[in-house]
């Protein structure tokens, strides 16, 4: 459906975009697509006003794209669910393969709500963090792209302090620190906690991340037992060997960047953390 740097001129006012030659420095559709392949396209109309986007089909025999518009702009109004293809002007247009808004649709987020990773099922267990300072890495899968601004977790037995971090995922493990609460956050009382991102809200695309919490003493969090956790980017030790999260002993201090992943240990029960939508 997608192909980098694929762009041509084209003609046509209706259902067919007749490809008319590659634009300077780009790649023709014939090199990127085979006959019948779906093509995500955007068109800049020759008249300089109309713009359209959609998912069509490449036809190799006639070197054209059959249109199926999912969005258009007529110069005045945006139609994000057109019932028919908008009529284009006569002349030569520009068509390129591009990401369209439909492909980024994730349902969005509701401000102030907590979003958890769907790997957690029954949220009724407890995860006791050791009195020895440790950093715990919890897989987070974001299905709802949006702006987020805080870490959320529930303290079930009070402790002293924690720090929190959000990491990108690389090769199945935490990697670059993307957001952090890097001053001590008190967990001296029980209940749901929200530790704000130090730098304010950030936009998270759909995908795999890691949440991390670093404790300085014993504390217990809301958790999920091993029989209530789905597989994540950590993989599994066996078909019936679920891995919920990773951790390591580490002197309490600033959250590491990149993540400290030397000599990790793994657990089958998990600490439940989420992120707050802005």
Residues 227 and 164 in one domain: yes
Residues 30 and 122 in one domain: no
Q: Is the pLDDT of residue 104 over 70?
A: no
Q: What residue has token string 């009382």?
A: 189
Q: Under a CB-based contact definition with an 8 Å cutoff, are residues 38 and 57 in contact?
A: yes
pLDDT of residue 101: 62
Which of 104, 136, 167 is the C-terminal boundary of a domain? 104
Residues 153 and 207 in one domain: yes
Tokens representing residue 192 in the block: 């749901």
Q: Under a CB-based contact definition with an 8 Å cutoff, are residues 95 and 10 in contact?
A: yes
Average pLDDT over residues 266-277: 95
Q: How does DSSP assign 233-248, residue by residue?
A: TT-EEETTEE--EEEE
Which of 104, 125, 158 is the C-terminal boundary of a domain? 104
Binned at pLDDT 50, 70 and 90, residue 256 comes out as very high
Q: Is residue 170 part of a domain?
A: yes
Q: Which residues of 156-191 are buried (b: 16+ CB within 10 A; e: fewer)?
A: beebebbbbbbbebeeebbbebbbbbbeebebeeee
**pLDDT tens across 190-225, in order?**
999 999 999 999 988 889 999 999 999 999 999 999
At 152, which helix (H) or strand (E)?
strand 146-157
Residues 95 and 118 in one domain: no
The domain tally of the chain equals 2
**pLDDT tens across 54-78, in order?**
889 999 999 999 998 989 999 999 9
Q: Among the residues of 116-252, which ranges form H helices?
A: none
Residues 177 and 93 in one domain: no
User: Which range of residues forms the domain containing residue 88?
Assistant: 7-104
pLDDT of residue 80: 85
Q: Please state whether the predicted TM-score (pTM) of the whole model is above 0.85.
A: no
CA dihedral (103, 107, 110, 115) positive or negative: negative
Which of 104, 122, 148 is the C-terminal boundary of a domain? 104
Strands (E), 15-145: 16-22, 38-44, 51-59, 64-66, 69-73, 78-79, 93-97, 114-116, 125-129, 134-142
Residues 203 and 157 in one domain: yes
Q: Is residue 1 part of a domain?
A: no
pLDDT of residue 105: 65
Residues 177 and 222 in one domain: yes
Q: Is residue 109 part of a domain?
A: no
Separation between Cα atoms, residue 214 and residue 254, nearest integer Å:
9
Q: Is residue 89 part of a domain?
A: yes
3 state SS of 69: strand
Q: Is residue 163 part of a domain?
A: yes
Q: Is residue 2 part of a domain?
A: no
**pLDDT tens across 117-135, in order?**
999 888 989 999 999 999 9
Binned at pLDDT 50, 70 and 90, residue 27 comes out as very high
């Amino acid at each position: 459906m997608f192909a980098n740097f694929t762009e041509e001129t084209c003609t046509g006012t209706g259902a067919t975009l007749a490809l008319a030659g590659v634009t300077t420095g780009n790649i023709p559709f014939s090199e990127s697509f085979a006959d019948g392949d779906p093509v995500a396209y955007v068109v800049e109309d020759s008249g300089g006003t109309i713009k359209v986007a959609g998912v069509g089909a490449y036809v190799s025999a006639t070197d054209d794209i059959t249109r199926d518009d999912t969005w258009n702009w007529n110069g005045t109004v945006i139609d994000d669910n057109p019932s028919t293809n908008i009529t284009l002007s006569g002349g030569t247009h520009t068509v390129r393969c591009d990401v369209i808004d439909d492909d980024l649709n994730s349902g969005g987020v509701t401000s102030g709500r907590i979003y958890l990773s769907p790997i957690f099922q029954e949220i009724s267990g407890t995860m006791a963090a050791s009195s020895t300072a440790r950093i715990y890495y919890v897989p987070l899968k974001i299905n709802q792209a949006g702006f987020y601004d805080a870490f959320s977790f529930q303290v079930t037995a009070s402790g002293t302090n924690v720090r929190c971090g959000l990491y990108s995922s690389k090769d199945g493990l935490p990697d670059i620190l993307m957001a952090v609460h890097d001053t001590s956050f008190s967990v001296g009382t029980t209940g749901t906690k929200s530790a704000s991102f130090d730098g304010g809200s950030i936009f998270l695309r759909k995908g795999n991340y890691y949440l991390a919490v670093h404790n300085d003493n014993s504390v217990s969090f809301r958790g999920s037992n091993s029989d209530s956790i789905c597989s994540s980017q950590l993989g599994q030790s066996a078909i019936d060997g679920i891995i919920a999260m990773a951790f390591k002993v580490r002197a309490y201090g600033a959250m590491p960047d990149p993540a400290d992943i030397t000599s990790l240990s793994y657990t089958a029960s998990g600490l439940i953390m989420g992120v707050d939508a802005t």
